[in-house]
Each structure stands twice: as structure tokens, then as C-alpha cells.
Amino acid sequence: MEPGQTTSPAGFGAEQFPLLPLLPLPRQTNTALRHSQAPAEPAVAPLAGEASEETGTVLCDGAVRMRSLKRSPERGGRIGDGCSIGYRTQEGDPLEEAELGSERLPWALEVVAKRMQVGDVAEVVATGEHALADEETVADVEGLERRWRFEVATVAAGTCLDKFRLSVDERIAAADRLRERGNQMLKQGRLLRAGDYYERGSSFMDVIEAEDMGMPGGKKDAKAVANNRRIRECQKPILLNWALVLMRRKRWSEAERKCAEVILDIDSSCVKALFRRGQCQIQLGSLEDAKKDLQKARDLDASIADDVEKELVKLKRQQKALDQQDRGWAQKALKKGLADERSKPKQPTAQDEDDIDCKVKDSSKTRLMPETSAGTAGPVSHKEVLAAQEKAAAEAGVDDITYARQREAIYNQLLMGGRPE
């Protein structure tokens, strides 16, 4: 091919498809060029329980606030539990080292570090328990607030704990460590931090092995069955302690669910789970279910009979309060005419007053008509009979069923022209 000559599709000459000259692209201004070449800063999407604001990100139900000051241009993997990081809390300070989840690092910095990369800098403000490291103690935790200029400078490679890559023994060991740390925080009254450790410890236990080998007869893998049994036994005290923390925080629904996990998935005869679920159900108003759980716990362990009896007293007190509310509602409903037409009083006629003589026995606790001095009852109207019955029922403290039956008897007797017995 001669210099400058071009090729063309087979069967066609170059003269049929002439090449067009290349046109120069419009020149970009310096400002446009800078914008087009600048790498876009990746946005950090808020996780569950978080909210983004113009000034930064709000974490942990408002206990931690984070505002990015500098983003590293190179983005890597997230930092997780077990990672050993080098960090600064003030500009120009020497590097410090700590493991995520260790006693040295304040809880807020641990939360924020999991959202950062090496080279990132953020302003962090924390209040309450989130402002403390585990090894720190202060008198007034609720009023505590701290601020840091937090920089992640280094991360040791291969130190992050990944539950999907850990063996069963390693996951159980990690969960036990977190449970023990949670127990320490619980003893110090730091309920939020204790619950955090129990939650993280439980997360290591939610990966189980397949037991069914897919063979005729339903044969199971003995090793997987044994490993899963160990996992459940490790998770049992974690869930129980987590439920206790939630109960102390008055998070009754969540605590009830943790107890139910133990009963349904691990041990249906666990006395602690039954007793604590019964306590939660009392607070939630599920009194029949609470009574069953408490009585079953007492049957399994007679040593807690006194504790069960105290809870049953609370249950009866709450049941009585609910009955009073229901009774008031029933009376109000009857007054508003939710019953049939017979509940509406009518103006009595002379014939009605002559024919109807409503009276109850002298021995009855709820007398509908007072006797005259001569020992006989005078004529009364329909309205007076109903008013007398309502007053007597209130004084006697009868239950809703008895109240309704008394009123029904009055209606029937008045319609038949007789007197109630």
C-alpha cells in the first residue's frame, strides 16, 4: 500500500467511500477542564438508624455527629471489628494505635471509623456513653460531651474479623469475648454499651451449618449438628443478657423477642427466658400469656416461686385495672344506647304502673327497689328501676357480666309484666 492510501471494504473502491478529515474538538476553558478532571467525591449513604444533615451525619439516635473534613482520593474496603488502626484525635498529634472494639478507643470513634478510609479526616461530636472508652469512668455520663478531629492514618492488613471466613471455634471465641465485655459494661450501669456488645456477639452466631445431607432417610451431618449445638449454647446467655438490658431500658417488645428466640430456637425449658418473657408480657398487657410463662418457669424451678408470686401479684393488679376500664366502657356504651331498643327508657302510663311491680329478694346484695316502711314495695317506673339497678351494682362492685345479666333480667321482666327474682 502506498503512503497516504487507505483501505476500503471488499468490492468497493476508496473513491466510493472517501475519508472525511478529522475536525478539531472545541477547546475547553481551564475552569471546565478542572471540573471534568476532578474525581467525584463518593457520597456516604446513611445506614439504618442514621440521618444525614447539611452539617454532617447523625448517628446512634443523635448521640454521635460526624462531619467530613477531608476525603482520601483512594477508596478501599471498609474498616471493621478487629481492625488495628493508627489514628490522631487532634491535628499534629503523634499517631496512636488501637483495635476497633478495644477498651482504649471511645465508642463514638469506633462507630465513625467503620465509615472511613485511610486518609480520611472527620470532626466528631459525641454525648453520653458514646463519648467514653470502656476503660474510662465518669460520675455524670448523661451530661458528658466530647469533640475530636479524627484522622485514620493507617490500617493493619488482614486484621478485620469476617464471620463468614471464621471457623466455628473462632466465631464462638469472638462472641464470648464480646459477651464478657458486655457483662463488664452491664455491671457499670452502661446499658447502651452493654447492649451493643451483646448485639455484636449475637451476630457472630447467626451463621449455622447445613445439617441435612440430602440423603434418603433424612440422614444428617453429625459434625454440623454438633457445631450448631455449640453455636446455640454460646448464643443463649448472650440473648438472655441482651433481653435484660432491654428490660432495664423499658424496651419491652424487643426484650420479649429476645426471650422468644431462646425459647423457640434454643431451649424451650429455659427458666430465665420464660420468667423474663413473662415479665415483659405483663408490661405489654398480654396477661394470659404472661401467666402461662411464669407458672411454667415456677414448675421447672421451685426456687423462684417467691419471685414468680411477686410477678403474679403485679399481673392481678394490672388485670383489675383493665377490668375497671372495661367495666367503665361497658356502662358508657349502654348509656349511649349500644344495646337494643329495650335499653331506651319510655314514659310509663298509669296502666304500666298498676301492672308492674319490680322487686328483688331481701337477701339479694343488689336490691333494685327499697321497701316501704310497711314492708311492701310501691309502684316504680321503668326509669327508676334502671337507675336503682345501676346504683346498687356500683355500690356492690359487681363485674361486667353480672351487671349485664341484671339489666337483661329487668328488661325481660318488664316486657312480661312480672317482677325480677
Q: Distance between CA 82 and CA 45 in Å, rounded?
A: 23
Residue 346 confidence (pLDDT) above 60: no
Reported as a single tens digit per residue, the pLDDT across 274-286 is: 999 999 999 999 9
pLDDT of residue 366: 44
Percent of the chain exceeding pLDDT 90 equals 48
Cell 420464660 locates to: 274
Reported as a single tens digit per residue, the pLDDT across 60-71 is: 999 999 999 999
pLDDT of residue 358: 44
Q: Which residue has the higher pLDDT, 272 or 344?
A: 272
Reported as a single tens digit per residue, the pLDDT across 222-258 is: 999 999 999 999 999 999 999 999 999 999 999 999 9
Q: Which residue has the higher pLDDT, 406 or 270?
A: 270
| Arithmetic mean of pLDDT, 174-199 | 96
Q: How confident is the model at residue 6 (pLDDT cuts 50, 70, 90)?
A: very low
Q: Maximum Cα–Cα distance for the chain, whole Å? A: 144
pLDDT of residue 169: 95
pTM score over 0.85:
no
Assign 3-class secondary structure to the chain.
Answer: CCCCCCCCCCCCCCCCCCCCCCCCCCCCCHHHHHHHHCCCCCCCCCCCCCEEECCEEEEHHHCEEEEEEECCCCCCCCCCCCCEEEEECCCCCCCEEEECCCCCCCHHHHHHHCCCCCCCEEEEEEEHHHHCCCCCCCCCCCCCEEEEEEEEEEECCCCCCCCCCCCHHHHHHHHHHHHHHHHHHHHCCCHHHHHHHHHHHHHCCCCCCCCECCCCCCCECHHHHHHHHHHHHHHHHHHHHHHHHHHHCCCHHHHHHHHHHHHHHHCCCCHHHHHHHHHHHHHHCCHHHHHHHHHHHHHHCHHHHHHHHHHHHHHHHHHHHHHHHHHHHHHHHHHCCCCCHHHCCCCCCHHHHHHCCCCCCCCCCCCCCCCCCCCCCCCCCHHHHHHHHHHHHHHHCCCHHHHHHHHHHHHHHHHHCCCCC
Assign 3-class secondary structure to 26-75.
Answer: CCCCHHHHHHHHCCCCCCCCCCCCCEEECCEEEEHHHCEEEEEEECCCCC
pLDDT of residue 152: 93
Q: Distance between CA 415 and CA 250 in Å, rounded?
A: 54
| Arithmetic mean of pLDDT, 189-202 | 96
